[in-house]
């Protein structure tokens, strides 16, 4: 009897936390589709605000998509080889390299952005181009790609696989393409989703790195929140949700395949 | 073997050049510029000696500590609960609790405005019930709420992963020996989750110290360090001070994370 009571108490608490996280999301989606949020839903539903966002902030959406894809390409090109090296050689030196690579995540984006500005701010062609933002995004997302691929490489017996292939006469390029890459497919995919999602939402650095002609989606959001009516801010947020949710769902499906299995098996536990 | 070493160095080169050129050198530059202002190298001490900076440092540490404690309590209760009790709808609750995982700070700020802003839900409810409209989004309380919102999804995943590895037999043993539920929580569950609490708590704390987007959305006059740095840089054009303060801020978060990693690591080793 006491256990039932404890269970209900914890369930109630958890539902409350869920409400805290989800209610504002629902409110914001509603506000983005309501004619006048102050009057309420009775004022009618409209797509007017979504159109207004499309007209005013279309460029930020395309820039963010372009940036996140460019960021993905760069992190794949320099991240996978790095993960491979870290998996092959495990020494104090490679651990230190891994530690260093994670620093841009540990250090506030504001500090990294300021450092980039004081160093490269005078190269005006670079400073004003979107490549400047890209550099920040790559610094911030690279550790996620490296760790994700590294985790998979550590779980397989890379050495035996490579030695086997080498004894059959496969050169390094062939081994890398036919053994290493296919084996760390899941790590690459999970890392890629992470990189694109993070790049799409990065604000801390981007706010200092951007120029008025290079606004990303989160920068546009900050703009809209500060200067436009609540409905437009909400509609803009709605657009952001629509872009980020598919990525998140894919990420969740990847991160916890065991989780769902566990739930299905253990349904009658309580 | 030598050829292999050469090849590995070659493979490491692209990331190495990128990282050195765009992180290590700029950070060194930031450090030097921090000491090149009117006050010279004493700019690095200003965070302790200047009353305004010191106060915002205290405010930043206070809001980050409060966020960490509250987030760990919330995630501890709900995370262990959801891991232990598999009921219909469990997966949906987990999905909802982790949904805001990828929201940037600005969006989190907007969520706080939806709840506690001028047109927010809390304001409407309190106005209806008491006649007084409660609005606290644009203050330290709003910032705190935003940081908890931001941190719960991350922390709950870590706690759930750790709770999965806890041995239920230990709790059963404690219970059969007559331990009350409170004692089981205090003596069995919390020690078992300690490494997860330390590492998740450190990440929570470091993000709250360095985050900028949420404060930026809520109000530019919230007196936390990232906002002070931003104001020094843009409004006062005091680049040296901004550089010194952000270097110190970066060092603080990095050290917190490094200490936590060592602490969590050694606890794991001791437990194993």
CA–CA dist B47, B54 (Å, integer): 5
The secondary structure of B110-128 as a DSSP string is HHHHHHHSTT-HHHHHHHH
Q: At what angle do helices B105-116 and B140-165 cross, to 10 degrees?
A: 110
What residue ranges of chain A have pLDDT lower than 50? 257-270
Residue B51 CB coordination number (10 Å): 7
User: Chain B contacts of A234, Cβ < 8 Å?
Assistant: 110, 114
**Centroid of chain to Cα B73:** 14
Tokens of A181: 């890459």
The pLDDT tens digits of the residues spanning B47-70 come to 888 999 999 999 999 999 999 999
Task: Let me know: does B110 contact A32? Beta carbons within 8 Å.
Answer: no
* B94–A85 C-beta distance less than 8 A: no
Nearest to A53 by CA among A242, A231, A245: A231
User: Chain B contacts of A203, Cβ < 8 Å?
Assistant: 104-106, 212-213
Beta-carbon-side half-sphere exposure of residue A80 (alpha carbons within 13 Å): 20
Query: What's the pLDDT score for residue B268?
Result: 37
**Alpha-carbon distance values, B103 to B44, B150, B198 (Å):** 33, 8, 23
| CB nearest A108 (choices: B74, B243, B249) | B249
Chain B neighbours among A 232-251 (CB < 8 Å)? 233-234, 237, 240, 244, 247-248, 251
What residue ranges of chain B have pLDDT lower than 50? 266-272
**Alpha-carbon distance values, B220 to A207, B109, B226, B235, B263 (Å):** 14, 12, 10, 12, 36
Tell me what ipTM this predicted complex has. 0.87
Query: What's the pLDDT score for residue A265?
Result: 38
CA–CA dist B262, B258 (Å, integer): 6
Q: Quick one: closest CA in B to A6, which residue?
A: B181
Q: Which helix (H) or strand (E) holds A51?
A: helix A48-88
Helices (H), A121-184: 124-127, 130-155, 158-167, 172-175, 181-183
* Closest chain B C-alpha to A143 CA, distance in angstroms: 11
* Closest chain B C-alpha to A232 CA, distance in angstroms: 12
- Does this model's pTM top 0.90? My answer is no
* Closest chain B C-alpha to A240 CA, distance in angstroms: 9
Cβ-Cβ contacts under 8 Å between A and B: the total is: 231
Query: What's the pLDDT score for residue B39?
Result: 82
Query: What's the pLDDT score for residue A2?
Result: 64
Tokens of A20: 């805290």
């Amino acid at each position: 009897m006491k256990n039932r009571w404890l269970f209900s108490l914890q369930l109630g608490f958890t539902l409350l936390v869920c409400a805290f996280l989800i209610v504002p999301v629902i409110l914001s989606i509603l506000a983005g589709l309501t004619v006048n949020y102050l009057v309420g839903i009775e004022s009618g539903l409209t797509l007017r605000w979504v159109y207004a966002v499309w007209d005013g902030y279309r460029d930020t959406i395309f820039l963010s998509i372009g940036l996140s894809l460019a960021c993905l390409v760069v992190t794949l090109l320099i991240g996978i080889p790095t993960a491979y090296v870290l998996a092959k050689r495990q020494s104090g030196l490679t651990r230190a390299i891994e530690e260093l690579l994670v620093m841009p995540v540990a250090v506030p984006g504001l500090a990294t952005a300021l450092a980039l500005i004081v160093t490269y701010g005078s190269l005006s062609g670079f400073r004003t181009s979107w490549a400047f933002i890209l550099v920040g995004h790559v610094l911030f997302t690279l550790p996620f790609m490296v760790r994700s691929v590294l985790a998979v490489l550590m779980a397989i017996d890379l050495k035996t696989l490579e030695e086997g292939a080498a004894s059959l006469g496969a050169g390094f390029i062939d081994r890398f393409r036919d053994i290493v890459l296919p084996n760390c497919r899941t790590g690459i995919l999970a890392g890629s989703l992470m990189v694109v999602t993070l790049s799409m939402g990065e604000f801390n650095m981007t706010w200092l790195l951007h120029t008025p002609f290079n606004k990303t989606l989160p920068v546009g959001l900050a703009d809209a929140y500060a200067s436009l009516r609540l409905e437009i801010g909400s509609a803009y947020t709605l657009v952001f949700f629509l872009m980020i949710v598919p990525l998140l769902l894919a990420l969740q499906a990847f991160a916890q395949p065991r989780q769902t299995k566990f739930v299905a098996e253990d349904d009658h536990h309580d | 073997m030598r050829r292999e070493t050469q090849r590995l160095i070659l493979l490491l080169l692209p990331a190495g050049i990128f990282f050195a050129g765009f992180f290590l050198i700029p950070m060194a530059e930031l450090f030097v510029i921090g000491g090149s202002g009117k006050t010279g190298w004493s700019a690095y001490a200003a965070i302790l000696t200047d009353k305004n900076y010191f106060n915002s440092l205290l405010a930043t540490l206070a809001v980050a500590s409060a966020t960490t404690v509250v987030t760990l309590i919330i995630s501890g209760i709900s995370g262990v609960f959801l891991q232990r009790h598999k009921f219909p709808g469990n997966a949906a609750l987990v999905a909802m609790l982790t949904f805001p995982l990828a929201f940037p700070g600005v969006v989190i700020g907007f969520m706080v405005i939806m709840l506690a802003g001028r047109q927010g839900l809390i304001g409407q409810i309190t106005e209806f019930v008491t006649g007084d409209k409660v609005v606290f989004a644009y203050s330290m309380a709003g910032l705190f709420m935003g940081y908890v919102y931001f941190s719960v999804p991350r922390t709950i995943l870590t706690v759930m992963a750790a709770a999965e590895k806890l041995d239920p037999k230990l709790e059963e043993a404690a219970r059969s020996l007559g331990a009350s539920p409170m004692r089981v929580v205090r003596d069995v569950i919390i020690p078992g989750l300690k490494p997860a609490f330390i590492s998740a708590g450190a990440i929570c704390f470091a993000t709250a110290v360095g985050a900028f987007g949420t404060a930026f959305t809520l109000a530019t006059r919230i007196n936390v360090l990232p906002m002070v740095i931003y104001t020094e840089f843009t409004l006062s054009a005091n680049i040296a001070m901004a550089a010194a303060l952000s270097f110190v801020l970066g060092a603080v978060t990095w050290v917190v994370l490094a200490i936590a990693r060592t602490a969590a690591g050694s606890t794991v080793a001791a437990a194993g």
